[in-house]
């Protein structure tokens, strides 16, 4: 009994590739659950008119216990005929017919309590146990099973039990299949126990098999010749997790081989450096895309050709679901980063600009949140208690927050630097007892190139609390110097010098005239001091030092012309 899984994981760029693969291997979707509306068209079920007992069916019906039970017997007979045809003619078409009938048999089970990601594996196991039970006990005639009219009476029970078994057919009270009669959810647990109790009773089957459970596990797809499976050594015919050992090893080998191929491709595509970050991210995105293409291919080989069943089949389904949803989360993160890099490229911001950093932080955080949501959806599909995990994270969140407190403080400090903008990349500033040029403002630290060309990394939280002097934001730059003249300098010489210096400074094109202050401050310990306080009309450091140099040289000329000598300590 082969299986085909729902194709939940195809969209975007990979949908075309996945569809092409599925078309090539001819694996049509066989998972639409058949409800009571299907009764009007036998072509939808692919089943021809046959007799089950003394009741005739054209399609699957679940309107009453009689119709559900009769449909189960009908599908059992159809399955035996299909498997006999496949045994004589191992074609893909015959295999797909087996898969179609098996899927419809599983549709008679109430699997609403089973996680979606492993629902079909559980349905297949339960179906095999039911077939084993039906072939070993005396079943009632469908005519003796309650019909719709009898179940509609007020005093009628809501379920019917197959005599001599714990198996019940019950009315579904809620959900998309409300009102249908299906083998109850308890059948998942009751059928294996019932089979264990009667497994020594010979199975009545035209296939000549001992048990359906074992036969289903040993069945293989059309690309695996019958001679190959029969040539498997006996040591590999034993069972691990309800699956033949050789199938377990083949499935693991398929996963490992696929992982190696994808890893090789990832290495080959990313070993060269990209000229742009967008090109780098696009090449990275090919890895999750290749995973999403590989998963349906592996699913087809494992489910239809190797035909993995039982508990190991459930594990394989879980692994595929986890891998696929993780790849979707990874792809979402990369797509968001590509979008942000495209925005940065369009805005033509300088490399290392804090706006760039903040956009990347936002895109990364959004990608992580989206990835967690996608992985959480996958966790729900395989039955992990996601909401309990979320509640546990809420309890442990405080401990995590305390553990990452320094990192969070630095991230918040980076946000404050962005909002206040006291400094930007490329600006010269002073902080504490150090000065330097801002090279980058990152998530955690700000990197500053010091005046001695050393690279200083300052945590954002520390930098946000420090007093920052941003020299690049100066409208004017202060020149404040004191010159010392010898004590022998007379007052008249000082007066003449002050007049000449003021005149020179007022006529200088790079000095603000309204803020000029040149004053004699009186005798000091070893000189007569003149204080000069002026503003250079620039905010560029190189130009500032050029203006300052020009002013000082002109003062030297004036001092020499006035016949004055500097004190031994000329400047301070």
Write out the chain's pLDDT in tens, 572 residues: 444 333 333 333 343 333 333 333 333 333 333 333 333 333 223 333 444 444 444 467 888 899 999 999 999 998 889 888 888 888 888 888 888 888 899 899 998 888 776 787 788 889 989 998 998 998 888 888 888 888 877 777 888 999 889 999 999 888 888 888 999 989 988 998 998 889 888 988 888 888 887 777 777 777 777 667 677 777 877 778 777 888 888 888 888 888 898 888 888 877 766 667 777 788 888 888 888 888 888 887 887 777 777 677 778 878 888 888 888 888 888 888 888 878 777 766 555 555 666 677 677 777 777 877 787 777 777 666 655 555 555 555 555 555 556 666 777 777 777 667 777 777 888 888 888 888 877 767 888 888 788 888 888 888 887 888 887 777 788 899 888 888 888 888 989 899 999 999 999 999 988 889 999 988 887 888 999 999 998 888 788 899 999 999 999 999 888 888 888 644 44
Cα(487)–Cα(483) distance, rounded to whole angstroms?
A: 13
Cα(326)–Cα(320) distance, rounded to whole angstroms?
A: 10
Q: For residue 237, give the DSSP letter.
A: S
Across 232-331, where does the E strand assignment appear? 239-240, 243-244
Nearest to 567 by CA among 511, 526, 536: 526
Residue 38 near residue 13 (C-beta atoms within 8 A): no
- B/e letters for 376-396, b = 16+ CB within 10 Å, e = fewer, are bbbbbbbbbeeeeeeeeeeee
Residue 123 is predicted with a pLDDT of 86
Cα(134)–Cα(195) distance, rounded to whole angstroms?
A: 10
- Chain-centroid distance of CA 41 in Å reads 42
Structure pTM?
A: 0.53
Greatest distance between any 2 Cα atoms in the chain: 137
Residue 182 is predicted with a pLDDT of 92
Q: For residue 475, give the DSSP letter.
A: S
Across 59-175, where does the E strand assignment appear? 159-161, 168-171
Reduced to 3 DSSP states, what percent helix, strand and coil does the chain have, rounded to the nearest 5?
Answer: 55, 15, 30
Residue 149, judged by CB atoms within 10 A of its CB (0-12, 13-18, 19+), counts as exposed
Residue 108 is predicted with a pLDDT of 92
Q: Sign (positive/negative) of CA torsion 328, 329, 334, 335?
A: positive
Residue 460 near residue 357 (C-beta atoms within 8 A): no
Q: What residue spans of 39-64 are helical by DSSP H? A: 42-45
Structure tokens at 162: 């197959």
- Chain-centroid distance of CA 113 in Å reads 27
Residue 53 is predicted with a pLDDT of 41
């Amino acid at each position: 009994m082969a299986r085909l899984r729902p194709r939940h994981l195809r969209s975007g760029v990979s949908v075309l590739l996945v569809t092409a693969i599925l078309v090539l291997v001819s694996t049509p979707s066989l998972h639409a659950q058949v409800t009571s509306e299907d009764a009007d068209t036998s072509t939808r079920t692919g089943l021809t008119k046959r007799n089950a007992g003394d009741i005739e069916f054209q399609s699957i019906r679940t309107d009453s216990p009689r119709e559900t039970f009769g449909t189960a017997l009908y599908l059992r007979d159809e399955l035996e005929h299909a498997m006999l045809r496949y045994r004589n003619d191992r074609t893909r078409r015959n295999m797909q017919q087996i898969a179609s009938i098996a899927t419809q048999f599983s549709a008679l089970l109430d699997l609403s309590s089973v996680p979606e990601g492993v629902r079909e594996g559980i349905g297949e196991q339960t179906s095999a146990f039911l077939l084993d039970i039906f072939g070993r006990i005396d079943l009632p005639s469908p005519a003796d099973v309650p019909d719709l009219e009898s179940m509609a009476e007020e005093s009628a029970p809501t379920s019917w039990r197959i005599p001599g078994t714990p198996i019940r057919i019950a009315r579904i009270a809620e959900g998309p299949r409300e009102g249908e009669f299906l083998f109850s959810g308890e059948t998942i647990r009751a059928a294996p126990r019932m089979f264990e109790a009667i497994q020594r009773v010979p199975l009545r089957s035209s296939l000549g098999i001992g048990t359906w459970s074992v036969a289903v596990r040993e069945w293989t797809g059309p690309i695996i010749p019958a001679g190959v499976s029969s040539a498997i050594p006996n040591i590999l015919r034993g069972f691990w997790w309800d699956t033949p050992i050789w199938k377990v090893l083949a499935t693991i080998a398929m996963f490992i081989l696929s992982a190696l191929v994808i890893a090789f491709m990832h290495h080959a595509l990313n070993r060269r450096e990209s000229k742009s970050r967008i090109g780098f991210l696009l090449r990275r995105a090919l890895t999750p895309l290749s995973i999403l293409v590989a998963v349906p291919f592996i699913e087809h080989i494992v489910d239809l050709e190797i035909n993995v069943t039982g508990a190991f089949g459930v594990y394989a389904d879980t692994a595929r679901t986890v891998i696929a949803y993780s790849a979707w989360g990874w792809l979402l993160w990369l797509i968001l980063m590509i979008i942000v890099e495209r925005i940065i490229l369009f805005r033509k911001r300088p490399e290392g600009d804090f706006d760039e950093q903040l956009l990347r932080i936002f895109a990364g955080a959004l990608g992580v949140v989206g990835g967690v949501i996608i992985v959480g959806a996958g966790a729900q599909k395989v039955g992990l208690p996601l909401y309990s995990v979320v509640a546990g994270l809420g309890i442990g969140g405080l401990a995590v927050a305390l553990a990452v407190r320094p990192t969070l403080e630095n991230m918040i400090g980076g946000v404050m630097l962005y909002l206040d903008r006291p400094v930007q990349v490329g600006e010269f500033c002073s902080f504490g007892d150090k000065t330097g040029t801002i090279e980058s403002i990152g998530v955690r630290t700000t990197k500053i190139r010091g005046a001695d060309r050393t690279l200083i990394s300052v945590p954002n939280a520390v930098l946000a609390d420090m007093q920052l002097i941003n020299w690049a934001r100066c409208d004017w730059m202060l020149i404040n110097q004191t010159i010392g003249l010898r004590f022998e300098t007379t007052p008249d010489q000082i007066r003449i010098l002050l007049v000449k210096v003021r005149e020179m400074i007022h006529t200088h094109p790079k000095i603000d005239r309204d803020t000029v202050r040149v004053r004699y401050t009186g005798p000091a310990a070893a000189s007569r001091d003149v204080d000069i306080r002026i503003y250079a009309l620039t905010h560029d450091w190189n130009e500032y030092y050029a203006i300052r140099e020009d002013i000082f040289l002109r003062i030297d000329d004036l001092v020499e012309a006035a016949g004055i000598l500097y004190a031994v300590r000329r400047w301070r």
